[in-house]
Amino acid sequence: MTTRLTQRTQLVRDLASRHGFMGAGIARAEYMDQEASRLEAWLKKGYQGEMHYMANHFDLRLDPTKLVPGAKSVICLQYNYYPEENLVSTSQEAKEFGEHDASQDCSQLTPVRISRYAYGEDYHKVVRRKLKALVRDLKEELGDFHARVFVDSAPVMERDWAKRTGQGWIGKNTLLIHPRKGSYFFLAEIILDVEFEYDHPIKDHCGTCTKCIDACPTEAITPEGYVMDGSKCISYLTIELKSAIPDGFKNQMEGWVFGCDICQEVCPWNRFSTPHTEPAFTPSDQLKEMKQEDWLNLQEEVFDALFAKSAVKRAGYEKLKGTIGFAGQ
C-alpha cells in the first residue's frame, strides 16, 4: 500500500510539472479547526470590508468534504506569474530621470501601475485549463475518481491548504511565501477522493523582518503582521470596493489603479522570483506602450481592447477610470 501511495504521489508531482506548475503538495482532506477560529475572528473585526461573500458558506471554506463528498486529499499547486519586465506608465522625462540616477524613486513620474498578475490573460481561465488537463491525465493513469478544481473561484482556504502541504509559509504580509520561489505565483487546488502520501508544513522564515508592514502605505497589515485589514488594502480599494474610495486614502495609492504589489516588491524572498514561461501572461504591445497621458485619457473602447481577456475587466471601465482620477493621475 505504501509503495502504491508513493507512486501515486510522485505521479501527481511529475504531471503537475509537465503541465507547467512550479510546485505541488498534498494534504489530507479534513476540517480546518484552527483556520476556522482565525477566519471567525477576522470576520468579527470587519476586515472583509464590503466583501460580504467572505462570511458566506463558512463550513464550505473549512471542510473540503462538503465541496467534494468523500474527498480524501487536497492537491495544492503553484503557477508562476512573475513577469520578465515591470510595467508602469512611461514618459520621456521619467526615462531621463531614471538614466540620470538609477537610485532615485521614479514612482512619482511613472505613477500608473497595475498588479503583475493582471498583465496578461485572466489567470482564472489559464490555470483552470491546466488543472482540467492535469485531472484528465491523472484519470488516465489512476482510473476514474471524483474531483473538483479551484482557482480563487470558490470558498477554499487556498493559502492555508498550501501551507499545510509545505508549499510555503504564510508571511507577515499574509501571502504564501516559498523560500526558493518567492510569492509571485497563483495558487490552485484539486480536491479529490483519492489517497496519497501527505506533505507537512515548513518553517516560517519571516523572522524579525517588517519590510512589508513598514512599506504598506495604507497600514493594511497589522503592526505584528500576519493579519490583513482587507478594507484598507489597495487591492481591495481598486477592485473589490464597489462604492467610492474613501477620501482618507487620497494620497496613499502610490499610483496603483488595479491591485497592488508593494508588500511583494519589498519582500526579500522575492529576490528568488524567476520570470514565468506562460505565453498567456505576456502583456500586449498596446499595454506595454501605454503612457501616463494614455491612462489619464483612457476611453472605454481602449479599455475593452486592452483588457478583453484580462482580470482587469472585473473592475470595469468606470471603476478603473475613477481610480485613475482618484489616485491623482
Q: Is 153 part of any domain? A: yes
- Verify that 236 and 302 share a domain, yes or no: yes
Residue finishing a domain among 192, 224, 255: 192
Which own/partner contact pairs does 4-13 have at CB distance under 8 Å and 24+ positions apart?
A: 5/195, 5/196, 5/197, 6/197, 8/142, 8/194, 8/195, 8/196, 8/197, 9/196, 9/197, 11/138, 11/141, 11/142, 12/75, 12/138, 12/196
From first to last of the 329 residues of the chain, give the pLDDT tens digit: 678 999 999 999 999 999 999 999 999 999 999 888 888 888 887 878 777 667 676 788 889 999 999 999 999 999 999 999 998 764 443 343 334 344 444 444 447 999 999 999 999 999 999 999 999 999 999 999 999 999 987 789 999 999 999 999 999 999 999 999 999 999 999 999 999 999 999 999 999 999 999 999 999 999 999 999 999 999 999 999 998 999 999 889 999 999 999 999 999 999 999 999 999 999 999 999 999 899 999 999 999 999 999 999 999 999 999 999 888 65
Q: Is 86 part of any domain? A: no
| 152 has catalytic annotation | yes
- Verify that 220 and 299 share a domain, yes or no: yes
Report the amino acid identity of residue 6.
T
- Verify that 115 and 126 share a domain, yes or no: no
- Verify that 280 and 141 share a domain, yes or no: no
Q: Is 272 part of any domain? A: yes
- Verify that 159 and 10 share a domain, yes or no: yes
Specify the length of the chain in residues: 329
- Verify that 100 and 249 share a domain, yes or no: yes
Q: State whether the Cα torsion 296-302-304-309 is positive or negative.
A: negative
- Verify that 306 and 221 share a domain, yes or no: yes
**Structural domain harbouring 266:** 92-119+206-326
Q: Is 288 part of any domain? A: yes
Q: Is 199 part of any domain? A: no
- For 60, the 3-state DSSP assignment is helix
- Verify that 26 and 64 share a domain, yes or no: yes
How far is Cα 57 from Cα 63, in angstroms, rounded to an integer? 10
| Assessment of whether the complete model's pTM goes beyond 0.85 | yes
- Verify that 105 and 166 share a domain, yes or no: no
Among 14, 63, 144, 152, the active-site one is 152
- For 329, the 3-state DSSP assignment is coil
In sequence order, the 6+-apart residues with CB closer than 8 A to the CB of 214 are 266
Q: Is 165 part of any domain? A: yes
- Verify that 184 and 210 share a domain, yes or no: no
Q: Is 198 part of any domain? A: no
- Verify that 41 and 152 share a domain, yes or no: yes
- Verify that 180 and 250 share a domain, yes or no: no
> In this prediction, what percent of the chain has a pLDDT beyond 90?
77
Residue finishing a domain among 170, 192, 214: 192
C-alpha cell of residue 242: 464597489
Report the number of distinct structural domains present in the chain: 2
Q: Is 201 part of any domain? A: no
Residue finishing a domain among 160, 192, 224: 192
